[in-house]
Structure 1
Amino acid sequence: MILTEKPSNIYTAPLRGNRRMIVFILAIVSFLVLSFFTFSRSSLNLGGPSCGRTIRTLSEAVALSSSTSNSHGGQAKFINLNDLDATANAKDEQEHVLILTPLKNAEAYLPKYFELIDRLSYPKDLITVAFLVSDTDDKTVEILKRKADEFLNRQNPSQRYHEIAIYEKDFNFQLPEDKRHTFELQPLRRSFMARSRNYLLTAALREYHSWVLWLDVDVVNYPESILEDLQSVNVDVVVPNCLLQTEDNSFWGYDKNNWQETDKSIEMQKDLDPDYVLLEGYFEFLTSRYLMVDMPTHNDRLEKVPLDGVGATFTLVKAQVHREGANFPPYVFQHQVETEGFAKMAKAMGFGVYGLPGYLIHHIKNS
């Protein structure tokens, strides 16, 4: 911009004849040169970390100027959440799935984890995978970064995932591996797990996600079509039947957090202290609930049964359930915490929670 008025606090001597013209021309040339270098540094040379490339033509500079002129302002983002749905035909309807996995010292399990995810028949460009790594001292983060780079930059666009996110949040909670499943430490351990899941959920859930899958890193066998199969059941929360992987393929239940209340278990809870946490699969306190791992498995694998508690080895949730406020309580909610507390909360809000006793997946045997 050329000033048409001189500031009143600047004194200039009068110029006459050719001298006036020469000084005027020099002033214009100086202004143009100064403007060129200023513009080229601030707008044309964008090869730094903020952009990653250099603009080489004037037309590019003009386009950039137009696109960045509102860098301190702009239009509101409008998203109609009424149009977001989770249906039985999710694949055909191009519905996005968010896979969430909390991790701690998981390097030994990650190769199989990524192998199984990559076998899924659901379109990869509709899949987001997000991790929360906590209190870890192995190579978990290093492996995640390497696999994310591989999955996001494949030559074939159809084989690239929509997004992979790695979050890190330490809770400074250390528990010896041999004490991980002891009865006395479960309420505290599960409370920290609930906090971890809530951090991951709130960090990763986007407005376009229709489904949320909670997947354990050490699940070692499930069908390629499992997402489409579970979506076809078309319920708010659904879990398959997770068994323990054994060398002789014998039937051993693993995820005992999938269960139904019984008349006996409901009656027993009437006399419990409100802050008492019930745990499944421990002889120290028998709950008298009906575990899904004890239900018949010979029926159709998509035949569903209502559940009152769920684990999270492989739990598919319509994103609406989480958006409306059902999360993982780190506190005691109806005698439960974490995943079973989530199921209780979802049911209290009117959502349906179901299991598929005949749909079998397998979990590795932990130390």
Structure 2
Amino acid sequence: MELWHQHVVWLDADVHKIPSGLLKRMIRSGLDIVEPMCVRTKASGKDWYEYDLNAWVGQRNVRRSARDSNFVPGDSSVQRMRQFHGKEETFVPLDSVGGTMLYVKADIHRQGVLFPVHHLIGSEWASEGYDGIETEGLCYVAHFLGFKCWGMPNDLIYHI
């Protein structure tokens, strides 16, 4: 990335429909990290469902002990973007993002906010963590450096 780059957009190759002007709205928002809601058309062709379930806000299950080898991370009290769709909010705060379409200010990546290749949550010197990897870990890292993640629940992109 060159010093003159101001914006980074990550786009899944299987996204086939993006509303006109969406990227411009993402940039003009002035927000740090922004993701629109990614949906997929149902087989009937009449309706859609939320596709990128890595975009959420709320709490995930926490391992009680490092010795708990049967622990499986999952949702505790999580809201996904679908729950905000059709409401007034143009932008909603997110604790995690997916990677179907993601806008990141370039300076945020320059400061080291990337997609973690290891689990961040629960990691210690002696053991691997259990949550917060790849796109889901991006917001955890961003948060530690004072940045925030946002969703656009009323702006739909379509995945094949």
Please give the per-residue CA displacement for 1:37-63, whole angstroms capped at 9, x wherever unaligned.
Answer: xxxxxxxxxxxxxxxxxxxxxxxxxxx
Deviation of 1:358 (Å):
1.1
Look up the match of 1:224: 20
Tell me the equivalent position of 2:78. 289
Q: What is the TM-score when the length of structure 2 is the normalising length?
A: 0.83
> SS of 2:54's equivalent?
coil
Q: Alpha-carbon deviations, 1:199-244, whole Å to 9, x = none?
A: xxxxxx1111100000000001111211101112110000001111
Q: How does 1:329-348 map to 2 (within 5 A)?
A: 329-334=116-121, 335-348=131-144
Kindly report which structure 2 residues correspond to 1:149-164, keeping only aligned pairs within 5 A, or say none: none
1:298 match: 86
**What residue is the counterpart of 1:255 in the other structure?**
52
Answer with 1 or 2: which has the greater Rg.
1
8 Å contact kept, 1:257–1:309: yes
**CA-based RMSD:** 2.2
Contact between 1:255 and 1:311, CA under 8 Å: does it hold in 2?
yes
User: So what's the TM-score if we normalise by structure 1?
Assistant: 0.38
Which structure has the highest strand share of the two? 2
Unpaired segments of 5 or more residues in structure 1?
A: 1-204, 279-284
CA contact (8 A) 1:220 1:363 kept: yes
- Count residues with an aligned counterpart: 148
Larger relative contact order (CA 8 Å, sep ≥ 6)? 2
* Per-residue deviation, residues 187-209 of structure 1 (Å, max 9, x unmatched): xxxxxxxxxxxxxxxxxx11111
Q: Identity of aligned pairs, percent?
A: 32
Moved over 6 A (4+): 274-277
Checking the alignment, whether the CA contact within 8 Å between 1:239 and 1:314 is kept in structure 2 is: yes
Given candidates 108, 112, 124, the residue that maps to 1:321 is 108
Q: 1:298 to 1:286 in 2, by over 3 A?
A: closer
Give the letter for the 1:208 counterpart.
Answer: W
**SS of match in other structure, 1:242:** strand
Q: Does 1:271 align with 2:68?
A: no
Looking at structure 2, the residues matched to 207 and 245 of structure 1 have their Cα atoms a distance apart, in angstroms, of 39
Greater helix share, structure number = 1
